[in-house]
Structure 1
Amino acid sequence: MTAKPKVLVTGASGLIGQLVITRLGDRYAFSGLSRRPLDGIPYTQASITDADAVRAACAGTDMVLHLAAETQDYDDWDKVVGSTMGGTLNVLRAAQEAGVKRVVLASAGSTMLGYQFDPASVYVQLADNKLQRMPAEARMILHTDPARPADFYSVGKLFGEHAGRLFSDRYGMSVLVIRVGAVLPDDKPTIVRELPGYLSHRDLVSIIDKTLSAPMHLRYDIFHAVSNNARRWRDIDHSRRVLGWEPMDSSDTFDPDTLG
């Protein structure tokens, strides 16, 4: 029997970490790094800002799924620099030193949400419920389009994307970036503005599985991760084509009149 790949999950006690560990435990041998204790898997209880702890957690792993970031104060530069940026650098350095084959970085769909700053754009009309579906003639935003971050947190995520590319180019690591859409605790939107970028729990876990299991010759790439929403304006054809990922869910099942 082939041994399961050993995967370290940073931020393992968070929503996404728990979904992945619970639903993909039959495919991967997970360990965790988290500020809070974990059940069911080996773990290191530490902050992502503790470089020595990150280095110890990475030792002996095949891959890292990096989820940890500052998620409470999106516009606090000090926390973004310390956790989101500094923590990602700690992970990349530790992974490279440990000979980790692949790092999957959870970036954010908000790295592109600045496209909604233009009040006349189709993108903000979709978010404001003035349009119920992306017009066929409108242009989808590609993963190759210039990033337009919506807050300091998103700038921190873009730092991680660029640092990941450097580590891939310089050290030959496979670094795959997922620009994660709106993943919500109850797996359903609470406001209309979440409908375009909604990413269901099932679709989230699926694309993470696809990136972890992708061929190792895939060195660096960026993937938009949004469910198959009629209001979606971020292109996912690249994710489909390269990873074979096909979202199964859609925000179209939710009634916007019941949302804030």
Structure 2
Amino acid sequence: MDAAGLDDAPLVVITGGLGRVATVLLPWLRRRYRLRLVDRTVATARNDEVFQADIGDPKAAYQMFAGADAILHLAANSSPRQTWDTVYAANVRTTQIVLEAAATHAVPKVVLASSLHAMGEYNRPRYWPVDPRLDPRPCCAYGLGKVVLESMGRLHADRTGASVTCLRLGLTGWPLTERRYLGQWLSDGDAGRLVLAALQTDERYGVHFGVSANTRNHWDTTSARHELGYRPEDDSEELADRAGPSSGPVCRLFDTETTSGTSD
């Protein structure tokens, strides 16, 4: 569908709209939605509204969400090496502002980008594939911030009646260069399919793992398949022969027991 055919399509506001994950998703989302991209950097994007703004500023968030039919909140500092102070300022506080502005505008649908790091301590053979219904066990301060994000999303859904979907994304928008990522890879195509499915569901609140149909099945996507209608098509095993050794420590998501094949 061309831009003219989308004049009456729902408007999705994407925070972090010029970032790594958004860049993967834009070709998929443009097929169905009008897009307003909000980012701290400035650039142009074909057929999209693009605004340079700090979404952590309540006034900016309020202005950016006017008229939105849905919000896709991707803006975040994604480093697992952050301190809690940085995570709170960059991720937790920003999510709070996003949800408060969404409530003010009565935006009916919110999709929040969470992470596998919210459940990172389960990334051990004894738990594979990890059930998303288990209690959160973050592996780092970044993961803890995502646990808080998910809880804020639930509170927002309960208080406002909006539909909130949290996606615990795996390796998204990065080349698959290391073997340890084979069990958590999310291909570009499957990322698009997943987010489209999340935007279209009317579930009151849900948390789902976002990985591809990987042979090395570390994360259970049953809820995403059944509740969102997510249909992953790609498998990291097709790229396994190109993946090399680990580049070094990240956080406890990749504890030494994980790579050795022993349980904790």
Give 2:116's aligned residue.
109
Q: Secondary structure at the match of 1:212?
A: helix
Does the Cα contact within 8 Å between 1:73 and 1:79 map onto a contact in 2?
A: no
- Give the counterpart of 1:170 among 152, 159, 170: 159
Give 2:205's aligned residue.
220
TM-score (norm 1): 0.86
Does the Cα contact within 8 Å between 1:48 and 1:83 map onto a contact in 2?
A: no
Q: Secondary structure at the match of 1:165?
A: helix
Give 1:159's aligned residue.
148
- Using a 3 Å threshold, how does the CA distance of structure 1 residues 221 and 73 change in structure 2: closer, same or farther? closer
Give 1:59's aligned residue.
66
Q: How far is the alpha carbon of 1:85 from its aligned partner?
A: 0.2
Does the Cα contact within 8 Å between 1:11 and 1:67 map onto a contact in 2?
A: yes
Q: How far is the alpha carbon of 1:208 from its aligned partner?
A: 0.2
Cα distance in 2 for partners of 1:149, 1:87 equals 20
Does the Cα contact within 8 Å between 1:33 and 1:54 map onto a contact in 2?
A: no
Give 1:130's aligned residue.
none
Q: How far is the alpha carbon of 1:38 from its aligned partner?
A: 3.1
RMSD of aligned residue pairs (Cα, Å) = 1.7
Instruction: Give a deviation string over 1:168-195, Cα, whole Å, max 9, x none.
Output: 0011111111111111433xx1111101
Q: Secondary structure at the match of 1:196?
A: helix
2:237 partner letter: D
Instruction: Give a deviation string over 1:229-248, Cα, whole Å, max 9, x none.
Output: 12122111111111111110
2:105 aligned with 1:98: yes
**What fraction of aligned residue pairs are identical, expressed as a percent?**
31
TM-score (norm 2): 0.85
**Structure 2 unaligned blocks of 5 or more:** 246-264
Does the Cα contact within 8 Å between 2:80 and 2:141 map onto a contact in 1?
A: no
Give 1:141's aligned residue.
130
Question: Residues 1-260 of structure 1 correspond to what in structure 2 (within 5 A)?
Answer: 3-40=8-45, 41-72=48-79, 74-116=81-123, 121-122=124-125, 140-186=129-175, 189-214=176-201, 216=202, 218-256=203-241, 258-260=243-245
Does the Cα contact within 8 Å between 2:65 and 2:105 map onto a contact in 1?
A: yes
- Using a 3 Å threshold, how does the CA distance of structure 1 residues 73 and 154 change in structure 2: closer, same or farther? closer
Cα distance in 2 for partners of 1:171, 1:55 equals 16
Q: How far is the alpha carbon of 1:80 from its aligned partner?
A: 0.7
1:52 partner letter: K
Instruction: Give a deviation string over 1:147-204, Cα, whole Å, max 9, x none.
Output: 1111111111111100010010011111111111111433xx1111101101101101
Does the Cα contact within 8 Å between 2:193 and 2:230 map onto a contact in 1?
A: yes
2:82 partner letter: D
**Structure 1 unaligned blocks of 5 or more:** 124-137
Aligned residues: 238
Does the Cα contact within 8 Å between 2:197 and 2:229 map onto a contact in 1?
A: yes
